A and B are shown apart, each in its own frame.
Chain A
């Protein structure tokens, strides 16, 4: 068959410009808006699925944070504690600590002595653990100062005590302890030292909230001048957390033992990873149902609009425009469902947390806690997850829509 439509003034190939995405979005939005009930129910299904996953995951993460906070506290995960398994043979002395401070990734070194001692105050004598510390060591220990100040390297007869020690001494208010004088005796028996004991009167300059038993901190210089040949513990801090394992290996090869909050953190994370996955899996059951609902909605929409699709194609829509139209509809459904679901989960989490805090207060638990963790990354992951799910769900309906034969579609009643 030869049919000539001639002569026409415009060429065929000049200026092909695709339909803009916001127009396809507009058409997609209008179609969903027209079927309010169906769209609403589909979004509701997705909302339930997403809020269940988000709620349970944020609960798992919240518990993980809570446990981590209790166990790790303010300890820096960049810090490594070094002790000697046999302090008389492998000595943690100045020579060794200087060597440690020269290791590549080490930024700071803090030294400490620890000995049992006894504290005398207003005629009462109490046993305490005594630490001889420097400024670096205090910094790396992340001591939680609640009154006064920490020790300086220039201090001599100053002392810091923890709350447990204050309570044992009968001092109720942290501030009341400041500037009070106490006598401290630290026996140094069994050590080849110049002095047999350290005995002096110290002025309390600070109170910290750490440990359950009585602890006191005095300037390291007191032990240095007594001639103690090695430190009880050394703390080093590295420039980057990722350098911790290599540094530990290096130090352990020198014969020392190392511990790091990362060990505990790793164990906590490992346990909670499985716990959170199990919780999220419960939520995923709801998600599966909502995904099926979404697939159903998109398929029905395709069947209902076959004629419309045929019309659009006869007016110049390309296959990919039709596919994009369906993908946009799926994305509107999934992203709206995800955002509303996250909001509902966050609000529900806040409410449950408030109720739990009120219960805890009524039972005498001090302070407040957060049972749910709702980090931005989790919200982002949920939205991205739904974008991916939406794309997967719409794949077949969109492919089918793009393959519609406009002639057959327009003939369809």
Chain B
């Protein structure tokens, strides 16, 4: 590949996410999901186009304003758990508030409330790296909720969890959407969660297909059928090999 050759990861992408919606982005590996999330979180400026928020192009903001936008508006949950390892659970959860200029006392009060929401209030003094994967992900959810964000971006948050912990995290996202009216932007491979969405973005080879309402149900059923066919095919292939 030529050194200066550019690859368009996302092409002709245009969609609107409504306040309070539950958006799911799904697609195969390398399809551009992570790039789309990075663009949405204000971390990666698109080479063309814009992300508007209240009629304001996010990437027109000055670096400090963009940082403030992230601290103030977005809560992020990653598949892998990232922590400031020298700090305890409560200080890690309070971190986004620190970047909003809160004092430790004010931020801790908010952090305890967020930890209560995910049932982790008893772990404030522990170090997050010493918790189990499920516990860490719940603390990460508390961190994503602590700044009272308008939207929560979850990048395959159940990817490294067992089904029980995965369901718990999805339950927390559902509650954040239904009870607190937060906009959810979820990236997942797990098709069983697709029906949770009221706005589905199927991304493949950098192209985004938008689905809403009844179409989501049909898309999910179609994907399920494809998957069943694939499972049946694999079973037949395996039986043939054994014979």
Residues of A within 8 A of B (CB): 1-13, 16-20, 22-23, 26-27, 30-31, 33-34, 307-308, 310-319, 321, 406-407, 410
Which residues of A have CB within 8 Å of B87?
A: 27, 30
Nearest residue (CB) in B for A1 is B49
Q: Which residue of chain B has its CB nearest to the CB of A320?
A: B64
When chains A and B are docked, how far (Å) is the Cα of A407 from the Cα of B14? 23
**Judging by beta carbons under 8 Å apart, are B83 and A8 in contact?**
no
| In the complex, chain B residues whose CB is within 8 Å of the CB of A7 | 19, 54
Digitize B63-94: 1 where CB-to-A-CB distance is under 8 Å, 0 elsewhere: 11101111111001010001111110001000
Tell me which of B12, B85, B100 contacts A316 (CB under 8 A).
B100
A19 to B191 Cα, complex, angstroms: 40
- Between A and B, how many residue pairs show CB distances below 8 Å? 145
B7 at the interface (CB under 8 A from A): no
A364 to chain B, nearest CB (A): 60
Most buried by B among A3, A12, A315: A315
Contacting pair A407 B82 (CB below 8 A): no
Known contacts A6-B16, A314-B41, A314-B76; is-contact A23 B98 (Cβ 8 Å)? yes
B76 to A: closest C-beta gap in Å: 6
Nearest CB to that of A413 among chain B residues?
B80
The reply to whether B96 and A316 form a contact with Cβ atoms under 8 Å apart is: yes
Question: When the two chains form the complex, which single residue of A6, A9, A316 contacts B68, counting CB atoms closer than 8 Å?
Answer: A316
Quick check: is B44 within 8 A (CB to CB) of the other chain? yes
Interface CB pairs A-B, < 8 A, 30: A1-B12, A1-B39, A1-B48, A1-B49, A2-B14, A3-B13, A3-B15, A3-B39, A5-B19, A5-B150, A5-B183, A7-B19, A10-B72, A12-B61, A12-B65, A12-B72, A16-B65, A17-B101, A22-B104, A23-B104, A27-B84, A27-B91, A34-B85, A310-B82, A314-B76, A315-B143, A316-B69, A316-B100, A317-B99, A410-B78
Interface residues of B in 40-66 (CB under 8 A from A): 40-41, 43-44, 46, 48-56, 61, 63-65
- Interface pair B19/A8, CB less than 8 Å apart: yes
Given contacts A1-B39, A2-B50, contact A314 B85 (CB under 8 A): no
Asked if B173 lies at the interface with its beta carbon under 8 angstroms from chain A, I say no
Instruction: Pick the contact of B71: A8, A311, A315 (CB < 8 A).
Output: A315
Q: Do A8 and B150 touch across chains, with their CB atoms under 8 A apart?
A: yes
Q: Which residue of A lies closest to B55 (CB)?
A: A6
B10 within 8 A of A: yes
- B65 with A315: CB separation less than 8 A: no
B99 contact set on A, CB distance < 8 A? 19, 312, 315-318, 321
The 5 closest A-B pairs by CB, nearest first: A316-B71, A17-B101, A1-B49, A316-B99, A34-B86
Q: Known contacts A316-B68, A317-B67: does B84 contact A5 (CB below 8 Å)?
A: no
The smallest C-beta distance from A126 to any residue of chain B, in angstroms, reads 81
Contact B150 A319 (CB under 8 A): no
Q: Does B151 contact A (CB under 8 A)?
A: yes
The CA of A32 and the CA of B49, in the complex, are separated in Å by 43
A407 contacts B84, C-beta separation under 8 Å? no
When the two chains form their complex, are residues B70 and A314 in contact, meaning their CB atoms are under 8 A apart? Answer: yes
Contact of B83 among A5, A23, A308, A407 (CB under 8 A): A308
Contact A314 B16 (CB under 8 A): no
Please report the C-alpha to C-alpha distance between residue A3 and residue B55 in the assembled complex, in whole angstroms. 10
- Closest chain-A Cβ to B94's Cβ sits at a distance in Å of 9
18 extra A-B contacts, CB within 8 A, seeds A1-B12, A313-B67: A2-B50, A3-B17, A3-B39, A3-B49, A3-B51, A5-B53, A6-B16, A9-B150, A12-B53, A16-B65, A16-B101, A20-B101, A23-B104, A30-B91, A315-B70, A315-B76, A316-B68, A407-B38
A155 to B30, CA, bound (A): 109
Q: Contact partner of B16 among A4, A9, A26, A317, CB < 8 A? A: A4
Chain B residues with CB under 8 Å of A319's CB are: 63
Question: Given the complex, which residues of B lie within 8 Å of A26, measured CB to CB?
Answer: 91, 104
CA distance A85 to B230 in the complex (A): 120
Name the residue in B49, B69, B76, B95 with the highest tally of chain A Cβ atoms < 10 Å from its Cβ. B95
- B18 contacts the other chain (CB 8 A): yes
Give, as a whole number of angstroms, the nearest-CB distance from B86 to chain A.
4
User: Whose C-beta in chain B lies nearest to the C-beta of A304?
Assistant: B85
Chain A residues with CB under 8 Å of B183's CB are 5
Asked if residues A12 and B56 are in contact (CB atoms below 8 Å), the reply is yes
Query: Could you tell me the distance in whole angstroms from the C-beta of B74 to the nearest C-beta in chain A?
Result: 8
Partner of B17, one of A5, A316, A406: A5
CA distance A102 to B18 in the complex (A): 92
Chain A residues with Cβ under 8 A from B160's Cβ? none
Residue in chain B with minimal CB distance to A35 = B86
Q: Which residues of B contact A12 (CB under 8 A)?
A: 53-54, 56, 61, 65, 68-69, 72-73
In B125-170, which residues have CB < 8 Å from any A CB?
143, 150-151
- Does any Cβ of A come within 8 Å of B180's Cβ? no
A26 CA to B19 CA, complexed, in Å:
36
Output the nearest chain A residue to B37 by Cβ-Cβ distance. A407
Q: Which residues of B contact A11 (CB under 8 A)?
A: 54
Contact between B86 and A33, CB atoms less than 8 A apart: yes
Per-residue CB contact flags for chain B residues 204-232 toward chain A (1 = under 8 Å, else 0) read 00000000000000000000000000000
Q: How far is the CA of A26 from the CA of B94 in the complex (A)?
A: 13
Please, which residues of chain B bring their CB within 8 A of the CB of A308?
Answer: 82-85
